[in-house]
Each structure stands twice: as C-alpha cells, then as structure tokens.
C-alpha cells in the first residue's frame, strides 16, 4: 500500500522567508507524487507533480519540489514566502497504473507572518 | 469550461435522513472520483468511475453509500440513514485518461455535510 507522511501539521514563516514543507512517501513501486494547495472554501488545486521525468519539479506560484529516492522524500519549497501563500498544503501519492487514485497526507497549514 | 461543480455546497440534515450530492465533471473527462475529507485530515478515496462503470470502491464506502454515473457524465453520491460520523466534506474530482500519465485530477469545491 502507498502512503505519505507530512511532518508538521502547522508551519509558520515570515513574509519573504524560505518555505519548506516536508513529505515522505512509502511505495513498493515507483509512484507519482503530487502537491496540492487548498484555500479556505475552495477546492484542491494542483501545485506540481512528479512523474519520473525529472527529479526537480517546478510548479505554479514559484513552488518547486525535489524527488529524492534515497530519502523517500518529496519536500515542497519556495524561496520567498508571500502573504497569499497562506493555505493548507497536501502531499499525495498515486500508483503509476490503474485508476491513479490519490492517497493524501494529513496536510500542513502554512501561516505567513507579516 | 467552468471546471468541476458540486451541488449543494452545504447540506445540514438530521440523523437517519437520506442525502444525495451531485457532481458535474469537466465535460470531456472520462474519469470521476469521490473523496471524503474530515476535519484536520487529508481527503480519502471513496470510489472511482471510468465513464459510467464504477470500477473501485473503498472499504470506507459502507452499504449505506451508493454512487452512480449514468451515461458517463454527472455523478451522484447518496448516503442513506445518515449518521453523525458521516459529517465531512465530500469532494469530487475528474480527469481525462491520457497515455503516459499521471492524469491530473481537477477538484470541485466540495459539499459540506453536517449531520445533527
């Protein structure tokens, strides 16, 4: 079975500081990995996805993530936080075959300090 | 294209009542998923349709739950004899199956169910 673990249910950073949200995965086969963002009262929006084409993945809104097989990690980073980045972030994994259902982590709420 | 829509956005019901939710996927998408999200948790997979065929159901989907996707377009999720534990956000997502995946799932805004 596949799973993801997000370390830190709440992360606070100052505006302009580095954002680092952690995600570790467990999978017996090469997975697809995703980061989604959820703003209040809105649906989940895809930030970026890893499909084995490249280990460093760039997404929307200046976010990127690096797939590290040796560490089974897929951490999300952004060099400089903006107030609009305040939201809930979910890491997810899916098999690379079949119905591709997503298995989500428990989420990390990101707060930006002015 | 207006994206994935869900109706209603909010539903309050009394324990024991039946409720039905509707999801309209992006028009050309052949795959449709239902997830459930409880407070403080990530979404959990419930069921999946490829066109009109329901191909997988999670063990979370008890016999009180039923989902349909007649004609392979919109989908409905019905909960019979609701329980307080059914209170959650019910999310619908759709995707277009393409070779060489993964196929991005587009999520609707969800239906928030409160069972009193």
Return the residue in A31, A44, A51 with the most chain B beta carbons within 10 A, the one to mutate for interface testing: A44
Please give the Cα distance from A37 to A86 (Å, whole number): 10
Euclidean distance between CA atoms B3 and A41, whole angstroms = 15
Interface residue B7 vs chain A (CB under 8 A): no
Residues 43-82 of B with CB under 8 A from A: 43-45, 48, 50, 55-56
pLDDT at B102: 75
Q: Among B35, B99, B48, B108, which Cα is nearest to A103's? A: B35
**Predicted confidence pLDDT, tens digits, chain A (114 residues):** 789 999 999 999 999 999 999 999 998 777 889 999 999 878 899 999 988 778 899 999 999 999 998 899 999 999 999 999 999 999 999 887 766 889 999 999 999 999
- Mean residue pLDDT of chain B comes to 92
Distance from CA of B25 to the nearest CA of A (A): 13
**Could you tell me if A2 and A68 are in contact, meaning their C-beta atoms sit under 8 angstroms apart?**
no
In eight-state DSSP terms, residue B102 is: P
Residues B16-69: pLDDT tens digits?
Answer: 999 999 999 999 899 999 999 998 899 999 999 999 999 888 888 889 999 999
Is B104's pLDDT higher than 90?
Answer: no
Torsion sign, CA atoms A86, A46, A66, A100: positive
pLDDT band (50, 70, 90) for residue B101: low
Please tell me the predicted confidence (pLDDT) of residue A42. 83
Q: Which of A82, A75, A80 is nearest to A112 (CA)?
A: A82
In whole angstroms, what is the distance from residue A29 CA to residue A25 CA?
11
């Amino acid at each position: 079975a596949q799973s993801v673990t997000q370390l830190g249910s709440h992360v606070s950073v100052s505006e302009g500081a580095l954002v680092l949200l952690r995600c570790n995965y467990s999978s017996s086969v090469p997975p697809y990995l995703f980061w989604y963002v959820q703003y209040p009262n809105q649906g989940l929006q895809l930030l970026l996805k890893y499909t084995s084409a490249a280990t460093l993945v760039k997404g929307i809104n200046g976010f990127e993530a690096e797939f590290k097989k040796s560490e089974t990690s897929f951490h999300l980073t952004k060099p400089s936080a903006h107030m609009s980045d305040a939201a809930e972030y979910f890491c997810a994994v899916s098999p690379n075959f079949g119905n591709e259902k997503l298995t989500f982590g428990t989420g990390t709420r990101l707060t930006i300090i002015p | 294209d207006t994206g994935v829509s869900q109706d209603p956005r909010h539903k309050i019901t009394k324990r024991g009542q039946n409720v039905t939710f509707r999801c309209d996927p992006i028009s050309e998408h052949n795959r449709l998923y239902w997830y459930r999200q409880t407070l403080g948790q990530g979404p959990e997979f419930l069921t999946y349709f490829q066109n009109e065929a329901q191909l997988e159901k999670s063990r979370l989907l008890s016999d009180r739950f039923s989902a349909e996707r007649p004609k392979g377009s919109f989908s409905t999720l019905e909960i019979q004899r609701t329980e307080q534990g059914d209170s959650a956000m019910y999310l619908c997502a759709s995707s277009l199956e393409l070779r060489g995946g993964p196929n991005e799932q587009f999520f609707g805004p969800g239906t928030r169910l409160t069972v009193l």
